[in-house]
Structure 1
Amino acid sequence: MQQLRKPLQGLGNIIRFNWHFYLIALLCIGLLLWGYFIVSDHLKFYFLVLLSMVCLSTGLSLIASFYIYDFSDFYSLKWLKKSYENRSIVNINAGFDETTIYLKQVFPQSTIQILDFYDAKKHTEISIKRARKAYPLAKSCLTISTLHIPIQYQSIDLIFLILAAHEIRNSNERTLFFKEIHRTLKPNGEVYIVEHLRNIPNFLAFNIGFFHFYSKKNWIKNFKASGFDIVEEKKHTPFMSIFKLMKNDCTP
């Protein structure tokens, strides 16, 4: 598969879109270093512990980001089987689309519709705004609501939500959104959800940042309530989960 990503593109985007977090970390490191040299000797140990914690947390998040988005082969999409069939495919993003270009290489004979459910009033993450500014969406991308997907009933073979669904912060809204996906999917169609989970590996990698993700239990609740079953689950690195869903009345 053609290599389209630049070296360190993943890590660079993480820093570029979330630079405020790293600026705060640098300020904390600077203040703790300054404090370490001016406090009395019996307090130096505590400043050193805090300094070590901030450096370790920041360093681990950067190393994990590099490993996941640059060092691993995630964007090669080897977890998908290449198909030359003409299939109806939808790729849904939350305002930042990094994957359609790679899906086109996996499904070269298929037409891929790009949908964007980003709503500035609901999805207030500053990182998404920066990503949208840096990487404008394709002109063919259709803006949708999480409560309505303007696609015909049971007309789609494959639907992808790659690192996007967690941006829907309300659980009920996620369920309603998956019900809309259920409506548009053919009886034997498949949905691929790729997400970080709120679990120990992501806590170790991203510290409190793992609260931006949801637990597997929460995802299963949303899937079940919208009529889906998980027919396959894969891990891509310890930090990312790939769920393959089918309608629960069509599950093998």
Structure 2
Amino acid sequence: MNSSRYNGLRHFIYAEWPLFASLYGGMVFALLVVGISATQGWFSFIPMATAVLLIFIFFLLATLWSAYQLYDIGGLRPHHVLFDMGQIQANDTFIFIDLGYRRRAINLSRRLTTGRIIVLDIYNPQWTTNPALVRLRKRMPIPPPDPRISLRDASMDLIPLPDESVSSVMLCQIASELWQQGDQLTLLKEVHRVLTPNGRLLLAERTRTQTNWLVMGLMALNLKRREDWEQLLNTAGFVVRRTQDLSGLISCFRADKPSPAEAQQMALDLAFDA
């Protein structure tokens, strides 16, 4: 196995090992039921146990496939899609908000020449309670000295940058780690503050699609619909310019901060509609 190619998949398995342990345990249990039923003559249990076994195998393979697509260099690479959607140039400076998975930021830095990527770590165990993040942060890479990468600590309600100081901010599977919608809105409003007029928020999140229903089962109930993310972006003051679906697994959004003239016109339109 090519370790560099499957590096993202290996880190995902490490972070989500309880899920994989549960799937593997379910497969073993179903196999035991099939074996015991066959030896004891309980043939009526065999079809049901076989069906359960196939379900566990399906979800194991589906989870591995989706993890490869989302996190490996041979997959969908949503962070690169966002980079292209934002029309970021090799000499631009942009913000990458993160929770410890620095590999995407390091990978994007290779597309820059004189540009710079400012990586803001907003992790706080009180707001981001996913245990997988704790495990993932234990393997958080430290990038080699590189003038293209700057690491800073931040929080969802305080980005250490002046108002209207940056033209692009990227959030790749970060906002959904804040479980409360109010916290998500707080982060988006803080991003809105630091963006210049016509600046771009580049957001990627898994949404409640048919593909994710198949891959995740009932866990897909925890996902927002694409329309929910668009509404949240609008509430934070953004205008959604473009969306792109990647194989039904993840949705990418480009949402711009309107110019003063456009914001004034939007306010007039809202007042007229009211």
Report the TM-score, using the length of structure 2 for normalisation: 0.82
1:18 counterpart letter in structure 2: E
Match of 2:257 in 1: 247
2:27 counterpart letter in structure 1: I
Aligned in 2, Cα 1:45/1:198: closer, same or farther, shift over 3 Å? Answer: same
1:224 pairs with one of 231, 234, 237:
234
In structure 1, how many angstroms separate the alpha carbons of the residues matched to 2:58 and 2:136? 26
In structure 2, how many angstroms separate the alpha carbons of the residues matched to 1:61 and 1:148? 35
Match of 2:77 in 1: 74
Superposed CA RMSD in Å reads: 2.2
| Alpha carbons 1:96, 1:137 under 8 Å: kept | no
1:61 counterpart letter in structure 2: T
| Alpha carbons 1:230, 1:243 under 8 Å: kept | yes
2:104 counterpart letter in structure 1: T
Match of 2:214 in 1: 204
Match of 1:127 in 2: 132
Give per-residue Cα distances to partners, 1:78-122, cap 9 Å, x unaligned: 66146244x331110122222222322333222221101111122
The share of aligned pairs that are identical, in percent, is 20
Aligned in 2, Cα 1:90/1:174: closer, same or farther, shift over 3 Å? Answer: same
| Alpha carbons 2:170, 2:203 under 8 Å: kept | yes
Q: 1:192 and 2:202 equivalent? A: yes
| Alpha carbons 1:74, 1:236 under 8 Å: kept | no
Offset at residue 47 of structure 1 (A): 1.1
Match of 2:102 in 1: 97
In structure 2, how many angstroms separate the alpha carbons of the residues matched to 1:196 and 1:22? 20
Q: 1:107 and 2:112 equivalent? A: yes
Offset at residue 246 of structure 1 (A): 0.3
**Aligned residue pair count:** 246
**Partner secondary structure for residue 208 of structure 2:** coil
Offset at residue 9 of structure 1 (A): 1.5
Give per-residue Cα distances to partners, 1:24-73, cap 9 Å, x unaligned: 11111111111122231112211111111111111111123223433335
In structure 2, how many angstroms separate the alpha carbons of the residues matched to 1:67 and 1:245? 24
1:74 counterpart letter in structure 2: R
| Alpha carbons 2:233, 2:239 under 8 Å: kept | yes
Aligned in 2, Cα 1:63/1:88: closer, same or farther, shift over 3 Å? Answer: closer
**Partner secondary structure for residue 106 of structure 1:** coil
2:69 counterpart letter in structure 1: Y
In structure 2, how many angstroms separate the alpha carbons of the residues matched to 1:107 and 1:212? 35
Match of 1:41 in 2: 43
2:53 pairs with one of 51, 54, 65:
51
1:6 pairs with one of 4, 7, 15:
4
Report the TM-score, using the length of structure 1 for normalisation: 0.88
The answer for unaligned runs of 5 or more in structure 2 is: 264-274
In structure 2, how many angstroms separate the alpha carbons of the residues matched to 1:95 and 1:67? 19
| Alpha carbons 1:149, 1:181 under 8 Å: kept | yes
| Alpha carbons 1:17, 1:130 under 8 Å: kept | yes
In structure 1, how many angstroms separate the alpha carbons of the residues matched to 2:21 and 2:180? 29
Aligned in 2, Cα 1:126/1:137: closer, same or farther, shift over 3 Å? Answer: farther
Give per-residue Cα distances to partners, 1:180-220, cap 9 Å, x unaligned: 11110000211100111122111212223434432212212
Moved more, 103-112 or 146-155: 103-112
